[in-house]
Amino acid sequence: MQVLFQAPSARAALGTDPVEVGYAQHTDGETADWDSAKLEKEGTHPVVYSSEGSHASYFEPALYLGRDPSEGVGCDNTQDPNTRVVPLPVLLPGQPSGPHSEFAWLAYDGNWGERHPGPNNGPAGPLSKPRWVSPVTWQENLRPASFVIPGGSKTPPDVVRTFCNVVGQGSGLYVRYAAHPAAVLAVLAAIALVLLFLLRRTLWDRVPPYPVVKRRRSGQIAWSAASLYRRFQPFWSSDCSRSRSACSRSSTSWCSRTCRSSDLPWAC
């Protein structure tokens, strides 16, 4: 996170309140005015909620939807349970005094942390980050809000829950593939062979959808379900002209059954 002061120097800034804060989120971030209602503070200290399994920082506990790479495609969860951490502020010099200085890491331009193939490799240090070398310009380009999913992680809409799970599992698969491509490809190939074996063991010939209650193979059930969906789907529309057109293209017996069952205000 970053706190922005409107002052001619750092010494002058310490005697006044900030005007804005910026929270980093993936490749972008979010801003809030110092007196904004969404900024939670403990005294003069801003409160930051870090996303579970992510480095993104947010202003409140919620489930957030990332809709593009700058927001991080997927879901960020900052809800309970949380662990409270009070960071220790450290005053840093503009440049380290030498290679043996305690702040010599400021000039290090390599990767930090564990060496790892793929996206889990140690990240680059602050020297390569725009928020470090041009902090004010970086904060000016941040967005004013993030998209909060109603219901949170406990009761999100089904489509959102599915999206979050698919993206999360897909991201995990990509990370494993980047680290061990041969092993992941071997597992996917084995799964594909099993699916192919199961698909070839059933029958895929078309059978009449009626009667609905009838013994069929899995492939025949799929064909029958698809046939019923294609026939009845137009009647889920409120556009009667579409329904009438669909009815005229169908068999007379099916048409009369459908009209009676759906109780539409017109006769086939």
Task: Give dist(CA 29, CA 25) in Å, integer.
Answer: 4
* Per-residue confidence (pLDDT) for residue 234, from 0 to 100: 52
Task: Give dist(CA 143, CA 16) in Å, integer.
Answer: 25
pTM for the structure as a whole: 0.67
* Per-residue confidence (pLDDT) for residue 12, from 0 to 100: 92
Residue 177 has which token pair? 């593939």
* Per-residue confidence (pLDDT) for residue 266, from 0 to 100: 38
pLDDT 10s digit of each residue in the chain, 268 long? 999 999 998 889 989 999 999 999 988 999 999 999 999 999 999 999 999 988 899 999 999 998 887 888 889 999 988 899 999 988 888 888 888 999 998 888 888 888 877 677 888 888 888 888 889 999 999 999 999 998 888 888 888 889 888 988 888 888 888 878 899 899 999 999 999 998 888 888 888 877 878 888 888 888 878 877 777 765 444 444 444 444 444 444 444 444 444 444 434 4
